[in-house]
Amino acid sequence: MKQLFLAAAFCFWTVMVSFGQPAAAQLNEEQVQQYISSFGWTMNDLQQYLADYDMKLADFATLDELKQWLGAPITEENLNELLTRHQLTKEELEALLGQFGETLQDYTFIEDLDTAVNFYLHHNQEMQQVNDMLSAIGFTEQEANRLFEHIMSLNEAALTEKLAGLDKRIEPFLRVEDPTELTKQQQDELLSVWEDLLSALEIKPKFYLVKNGQKQEVPYRNLLHMETLGGRDLLIEMYNLQGDLLADMQLSEEMLKSGYIVRAGESFVHAGEIGGEMKEKMQGDKMPNTASPYLSYMLMGVALTLFGAILYWRKRERTAE
Amino acid sequence: MAKTGENSGVKQVKARYVTYFSLACMIAGIAIATWSGYAYWQGYRAAQPLNKQSALHVSASRKEKAVRPKNGERIGALFIPKLNLSLPIYEGVDEAELRKGVGHYPKSALPGKNGNVVLSGHRDTVFRRLKGVGVHDQLIVRTARGEFVYRIKKVRIVGEDDRTVLVEKPRPTLTVTTCYPFDFIGNAKQRYVLIAELVRPRQRI
């Protein structure tokens, strides 16, 4: 009898412990409902959002804990604060999100939006950096865009290593104080860096001497033996391997003797390096063609067979007549 | 007399050519229908019910090395619990891969890694029932590196030239693309896109 009583007491105690504890820690569902409806969510919205992070409502002990975890709902005020921080207008923000297939309505909490904006801005900055470097050399925006697209289209696996090697070779020139005082050997090295750079980027240059708008093509070999341009400018046109003009640059004799050619080379190498890195990422690529032609082909095949068969039987019937 | 003979000779030659031509049509027609039928069936049978899924064949070397898989290599499987479906995933999105199953866009992230994983497939074979899944449904990817659960956040229908789908994403994302409309013979000009995010503890940057 005593044993039975003890067993019953134990059972009662176990039940009390296992049921009693979570009951005490449960958060008030009504309060939660009230809170989430303040930013237009239903209980289902909340549960689905929590499930995205492998969480349940029961994982939270208090409303404050839940609020803390969710973050601040987007309001006019904190949205404006975010826009100021990133120096964006609301239209620019919408355009930025649109570029990545999203809208402002996809976000409920300011922290989530901030994470996304940071990421997308950084991503676009890289592309901007390349364009900035190229325009610093003197390319127009159009030329910079064409060059960038050309670099992105290159199918060269070792491009990054090649460019890193060229970066090292150009470094000593950046420390030269008077670029007019380069030795013959240094000049040759600088030229060969440029040659290797253009060939690594699959750019074919054509050289012209220009005076008073008259341009005359010069073979590269002749150019090497020239001591002076004789008051003429050097025009370099850059083509891709298909022969499309990507960009051109016109250099005066002074520019050639100054440090310009070194700085331009460095910017070009860096632009290529960033471009090479970005090539590994998706840049709003075209979607794969998922149209399956097989069913149409099958129908075509069947139609062709029928056509042949009809022609054959009609011919046979006619010859039999 | 001679004239009619000549005439019937010409007719006979003509008749022979028509016979050859019709036979050629039949042979070519049967060949095309068989070949494309086989190609279609390959994709069709790639979609297996979940319980019948075969064990994943992944070479041991793949597990150790974190190198990019080669084109055409089988890299894992996509499970869609709602449709009770298991689909093989191959590296690459050329016709050779899409014919056999779901293709992984090589420039996109590998499953489970940070970034956007892009999988594409034919709407009439592997993804023929894809319109049956929607927001909050699960998509599970299994590779040699583990099993990753994604939940669909958004369904989009976009033009085939839309450039806002294959983009980098801040959260680990799975993007599934196929052609749209689903029941359409010929080249469908739209794309049906599922955007799902990896279920994992929150990490705000």
Average pLDDT over residues A135-145: 83
Question: Using CA atoms, how far apart are residues A252 and A234, in angstroms rounded to an integer?
Answer: 6
A 251-290: CB under 8 A from B:
280-288, 290
Asked whether residue B77 is domain-assigned, the answer is: yes
pLDDT at B91 over 90: yes
Catalytic residues of B: 122, 179
- A133/B158: higher pLDDT: B158
Q: What is the DSSP string of B104-163?
A: EPTTSPPTTSSSEEEEE--TTTTTTTGGG--TT-EEEEEETTEEEEEEEEEEEEEETT--
Asked whether residue B34 is domain-assigned, the answer is: no
Domain ranges of chain A: 24-70, 130-279
Please report, for residues A40, A104, B109, B170, the alpha-carbon distance to residue A116 in angstroms, rounded to integers and kept in the order given: 22, 11, 18, 6
A107 contacts: CB under 8 Å, gap ≥ 6: A74, A113, A116
| CATH classification at residue B167 | 2.40.260.10
Nearest to A302 among B33, B154, B188 (CB): B33
Residues of B in contact with A119 (CB under 8 A): 168-170, 205
Asked whether residue B204 is domain-assigned, the answer is: no
Residue A110 pLDDT class (50, 70, 90 cuts) = very high
- A81/B145: higher pLDDT: A81
| A–B CB contacts, 8 A cutoff, strictly below | 188
pLDDT at A94 over 90: yes
Long-range contact pairs involving B30-33 (C-beta distance under 8 Å, separation at least 24): B30/A301, B30/A305, B31/A301, B32/A297, B32/A298, B32/A300, B32/A301, B32/A304, B33/A297, B33/A298, B33/A300, B33/A301, B33/A302, B33/A304, B33/A305
Average pLDDT over residues B56-60: 48
Least confident residue range of A70-84, A229-243, A280-294, B157-171: A280-294
Query: Nearest 5°: phi and psi at B118?
Result: -110, 125
Whether B36 and A294 lie within 8 Å, measured CB to CB: yes
**Domain boundaries, position B120:** 47-198
Residue B59, pLDDT score: 47
- The number of beta carbons lying within 10 Å of the beta carbon of residue B99 is 20
Asked whether residue B25 is domain-assigned, the answer is: no
Tokens (6 digits) for A122:
């950084």
A 154-183: CB under 8 A from B:
none
Residue B204 pLDDT class (50, 70, 90 cuts) = low
**Cα A257 to the center of its chain, rounded Å:** 37
What is the pLDDT of chain B when averaged over all its residues? 83
Nearest Cα to A151, choosing from A170, A131, A168, A135? Answer: A131
Whether B108 and A282 lie within 8 Å, measured CB to CB: yes
Residue A83, pLDDT score: 95
Query: Nearest 5°: phi and psi at B163?
Result: -105, 20
The count of structural domains within chain B is: 1
Nearest Cα to B202, choosing from A51, A197, A242, A208? Answer: A51
Average pLDDT over residues A151-159: 75
Share of chain A above pLDDT 90, in %: 23
Does the beta carbon of B8 lie under 8 angstroms from any beta carbon of chain A?
A: no
In angstroms, the separation between the Cα of residue A297 and the nearest Cα of chain B is 6
A 120-139: CB under 8 A from B:
120, 123
Nearest Cα to B78, choosing from B150, B178, B165, B129? Answer: B150
Helix, strand, coil shares, percent, chain B, to 5: 30, 30, 40
Residue type present at position A293: P
Nearest to B123 among A54, A118, A292 (CB): A292
Q: What is the ipTM of this complex?
A: 0.77
Asked whether residue B5 is domain-assigned, the answer is: no
Residues of A in contact with B165 (CB under 8 A): 101, 287
Query: Over the stretch A59-88, which tens digit does the pLDDT of each residue have?
Result: 888 898 899 899 999 999 999 999 999 999
pLDDT at A261 over 90: no
Whether B43 and A98 lie within 8 Å, measured CB to CB: no
Nearest Cα to A54, choosing from B90, B150, B16? Answer: B150
Query: Over the stretch B16-34, which tens digit does the pLDDT of each residue have?
Result: 888 888 889 899 999 999 9
Asked whether residue B177 is domain-assigned, the answer is: yes
Average pLDDT over residues B138-156: 91
Q: Which site among B70, B124, B149 would you substitute to test the A interface, given the most A Cβ atoms closer than 10 Å to its Cβ?
A: B124
- The number of beta carbons lying within 10 Å of the beta carbon of residue B119 is 28
